[in-house]
């Protein structure tokens, strides 16, 4: 394909479509004609209302004002995820977004902590993570030098509207309509145009598939294939409902393991997002709806919405002149809030490899290889929560404990169990999170690094105390999460009124 890429058609809106439109219009709008087609008649999955800290970098790239985003999307701050009943019924731990302790050149903090724990001079592992401490105390503030890692809870539909307005200001056009037919060039197999149900036809040089699980372009038209991971992640359904808030929002997501499912609670400014992810092989749709209804707090604001899915990935996320972004590229359940991260990864990766004059197969292969790596490493991290557990109280949990897992995950678990070391492969997303979840799920290394024994007990005690004191110092600078959030929003509102006067 030698034709320059000038005209891009984004098929589908929602979070994926409007994040794509926002990035392309802001960063490349002067050189591209960008059109997004969506239909008000087609709903979006939209249950991903929680993120991880990488969204902050996406917003900075686009120059999005954080207070404006918070106001528009009814967002709250998020410092981590509290896992309840995952290791065993009644047990809980909080996976914080920050780094635990302080590493040295040869080994991680967990090695020093293991010896200190044996000597009885250290507290729980999570006590040495500022974000976990702050989350449990309900505290939040912006600290100097990005001293506190955080993400957000927000209303996904409001976020799409926010980005739609942002994209429009930067030149992206929106077309209302349902896609009736995807036309393909018979000479090269590339997509040539989208025909809408009203008879209009949108031609383009490049097409981005944001049609969700339908994958109308990348799969139904280009037939790239799908690799299922349901044997490792057997949950295949979710039911979601919104409720009134009954308490001030906490700065963390709750993930509560049930008999054959897990439940999320995501606190926003104006309501709470609730859902139950379940495995239909072990629980019926009706039973899942009933279980969620029995375990929510606050008056329901919506009727329960049932969503069916299959975990896995598209074998090619970029094929010919089509790129899949969002659920069209594959699905990983929202246990660690990674869906929006994967959207922005594909967007940024595409911008980095953008085919200005022609589509390079080397660039396409590089994109697909990196996208596959990202999804597989996140997949492994999610499987970890199910596999490493003491639960055997139901058929579902017995299956998870005994199932065969990917070799990449097995190697990671074995290395940590035998040496206490967490190996980071390439540029994978999670680092400190691995040891937080491994410890939280009950996986304790058999030994620690011998370098730790160079320290005397007195030196080790001093080191552990120093780490703890540093966190205490940072904690003293934090305010109540809800009060800080409301103060931030009020200041933004006052500044907005001042700008209009």
State the pLDDT at residue 501: 36
Provide CB contacts within 8 A for 81, sequence distance 6+: 50, 94, 95, 252, 253, 254, 255, 336, 337
Residue 294 pLDDT level (bands cut at 50, 70, 90): very high
State the pLDDT at residue 500: 41
pLDDT in tens, 437-452: 999 999 999 999 999 9
Active site residues: 78
Helix (H) or strand (E) holding 51: none
State the pLDDT at residue 186: 96
Residue 44 pLDDT level (bands cut at 50, 70, 90): low
State the pLDDT at residue 1: 44
Mean pLDDT of 103-125: 93
How many percent of the chain have pLDDT more than 70? 97
SS (HEC) of 164-232: HHHHHHCCCEEEECCEEEEEECCCCCCEEEEEECCCCEEECCEEEECCHHHCCCCCCCCCCCEEECCCC
Mean pLDDT of 359-379: 97
State the pLDDT at residue 467: 96
State the pLDDT at residue 48: 52
pLDDT in tens, 236-291: 999 999 999 999 999 999 999 999 999 999 999 999 999 999 999 999 999 999 99
CA neighbours within 13 Å on the CB side: how many for 429? 26
User: Do 289 and 304 touch, CB atoms closer than 8 A?
Assistant: yes
Global pTM value: 0.96
Average predicted confidence (pLDDT) for the chain: 95
User: Do 9 and 194 touch, CB atoms closer than 8 A?
Assistant: yes
User: Do 162 and 69 touch, CB atoms closer than 8 A?
Assistant: yes
């Amino acid at each position: 394909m030698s034709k320059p890429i000038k005209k891009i058609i984004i098929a589908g809106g929602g979070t994926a479509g409007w994040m794509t439109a926002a990035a392309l219009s802001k960063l490349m709008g002067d050189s591209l004609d960008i059109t997004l087609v969506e239909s008000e008649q087609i709903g979006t999955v939209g249950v991903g209302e929680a993120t991880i800290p990488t969204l902050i970098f996406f917003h900075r790239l686009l120059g999005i004002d954080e207070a404006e985003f918070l106001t528009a999307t009814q967002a709250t701050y998020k410092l981590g995820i509290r896992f309840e009943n995952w290791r065993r019924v009644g047990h809980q731990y909080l996976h914080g977004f920050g780094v635990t302790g302080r590493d040295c050149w040869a080994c991680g903090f967990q090695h020093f902590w293991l010896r200190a724990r044996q000597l009885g001079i250290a507290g729980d592992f999570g006590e040495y993570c500022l974000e976990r401490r702050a989350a449990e105390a309900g505290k939040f503030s912006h600290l100097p030098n990005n001293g506190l890692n955080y993400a957000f809870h927000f209303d996904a539909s409001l976020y799409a509207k926010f980005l739609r307005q942002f994209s429009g200001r930067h030149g992206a056009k929106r077309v209302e309509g349902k896609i009736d037919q995807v036309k393909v060039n018979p000479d090269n197999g590339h997509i040539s145009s989208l025909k809408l149900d009203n008879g209009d036809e949108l031609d383009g040089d490049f097409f981005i598939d944001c049609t969700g699980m339908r994958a109308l372009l990348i799969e139904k038209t280009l037939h790239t294939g799908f690799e299922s991971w349901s044997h490792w992640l057997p949950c295949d359904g979710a039911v979601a409902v919104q409720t009134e808030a009954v308490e001030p929002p906490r700065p963390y997501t709750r993930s509560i393991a049930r008999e054959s499912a897990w439940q999320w609670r995501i606190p926003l400014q104006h309501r709470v997002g609730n859902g139950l992810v379940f495995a239909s092989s072990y629980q019926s749709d009706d039973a899942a709806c009933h279980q969620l209804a029995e375990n929510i707090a606050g008056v329901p604001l919506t009727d329960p919405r049932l969503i069916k899915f299959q975990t896995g990935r598209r074998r090619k996320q970029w094929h010919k002149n089509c790129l899949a972004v969002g659920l069209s590229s594959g699905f990983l359940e929202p246990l660690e809030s990674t869906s929006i991260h994967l959207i922005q990864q594909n967007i940024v990766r595409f911008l980095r490899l953008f085919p200005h004059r022609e589509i390079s197969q080397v660039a396409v292969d590089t994109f697909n290889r990196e996208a596959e790596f990202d999804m597989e490493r996140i997949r492994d991290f999610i499987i970890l929560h199910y596999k490493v557990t003491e639960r055997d109280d139901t058929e579902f949990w017995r299956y998870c404990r005994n199932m065969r897992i990917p070799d990449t995950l097995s190697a990671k678990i074995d290395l940590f169990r035998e040496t206490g070391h967490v190996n980071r492969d390439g540029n994978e997303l999670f680092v400190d999170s691995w040891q937080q979840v491994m410890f939280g799920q009950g996986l304790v290394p058999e030994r620690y690094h011998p370098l730790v024994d160079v320290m005397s007990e007195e030196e080790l005690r001093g080191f552990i105390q120093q780490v703890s004191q540093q966190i205490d110092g940072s904690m003293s600078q934090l305010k109540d999460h809800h009060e800080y959030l409301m103060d931030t929003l009020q200041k933004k509102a006052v500044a907005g009124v001042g700008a209009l006067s």
